[in-house]
Amino acid sequence: MGSEGAKRSPAQAWAELLDECPPPPDGEGRSSPSLGLLLQAAAREPLLGSMYPWMSMQQLSVSTSGSWEDWGREPLPAMFARPDSYSVVARSDQGDRVAFETADPAEAVAFAARLVRDQQAARTTGSHAWSAAVETVLRDAGWYPGRNVDTTVWRERLEADGFRIQPIPEVV
Q: Is residue 138 part of a domain?
A: no
Q: Is residue 150 part of a domain?
A: no
Residues of the chain with confidence (pLDDT) below 70: 1-6, 26-32, 70-72, 93, 120-132, 169-172
DSSP annotation of 74 reads S
78-81 vs 86-92, strand pairing mode: antiparallel
For helices 105-121 and 35-44, angle between their N-to-C axes, nearest 10 degrees: 50
Domain that holds residue 80: 3-121
Q: Quick: pLDDT tens for 24-39.
A: 776 555 555 788 899 9
Q: Is residue 42 part of a domain?
A: yes
Split into its structural domains, the chain has a count of 1
Q: Is residue 69 part of a domain?
A: yes
Extract long-range pairs of 117-124: CB within 8 Å, 24+ residues apart: 117/47, 117/144, 117/145, 119/75, 119/76, 119/77, 120/144, 120/145, 120/146, 121/145
Q: Is residue 167 part of a domain?
A: no
Q: Is residue 79 part of a domain?
A: yes
Q: Is residue 163 part of a domain?
A: no
The amino acid present at 2, given as its one-letter code, is G
- pTM score > 0.75 for this model? no
Determine phi and psi for 83, rounding to 5 degrees.
Answer: -55, -30
Distance CA(35)–CA(40), nearest Å, equals 9
The fraction of the chain above a pLDDT of 70, given in percent, is 77
Q: Is residue 33 part of a domain?
A: yes
Helix (H, G, I), strand (E, B) or coil at 149: coil
61 Cβ partners below 8 Å, 6+ apart?
Answer: 53, 54, 55, 71, 72, 76, 77, 78, 79
Q: Quick: pLDDT tens for 7-23.
A: 778 889 999 988 888 77
Residue 48's pLDDT is 92
